Amino acid sequence: MLETTKELEELSQEVLTTASPERLQANAQTISDLVASGLSASALREGDVAPDFALPDTHGHVLALKTLLDRGSVVISFYRGGWCPFCNLELRGLQRVLPTIVQVGASLIAISPQLPDNSLSTEEKNQLTFPVLSDVGNIVAKRFGIVFTLPTALVHANRAMGRDLVEINGEAGAAQLPMPATFVLDKSGVIRLAFVEEDWSKRLDPDIVVDTLRGLGK
178-210: pLDDT as tens digits: 999 999 999 999 999 999 999 999 999 999 999
Whole-prediction pTM: 0.95
The pLDDT value given to residue 158: 77
- Do 65 and 74 contact (CB within 8 A), yes or no? yes
Angle at 170 between CA 165 and CA 175, to 5 degrees: 50
The pLDDT value given to residue 192: 98
The kind and range of the H/E element at 147 are: strand 147-149
> What's the CA dihedral at 16, 22, 25, 29 to 10 degrees?
-140
Residue spans of the chain under pLDDT 50: none
Determine the length of the chain: 218
Please say whether the dihedral angle defined by the alpha carbons of residues 151, 153, 159 and 163, taken in this order, is positive or negative: negative
Q: How many helices (H) and strands (E) does the chain have?
A: 9, 9
Alpha-carbon span 210 to 94, nearest angstrom: 10
The pLDDT value given to residue 26: 85
The pLDDT value given to residue 217: 66
Beta bridge partners of 54: 64
**Domain spanning 3-216: CATH 3.40.30.10:** yes
Beta bridge partners of 194: 183
The pLDDT value given to residue 154: 76
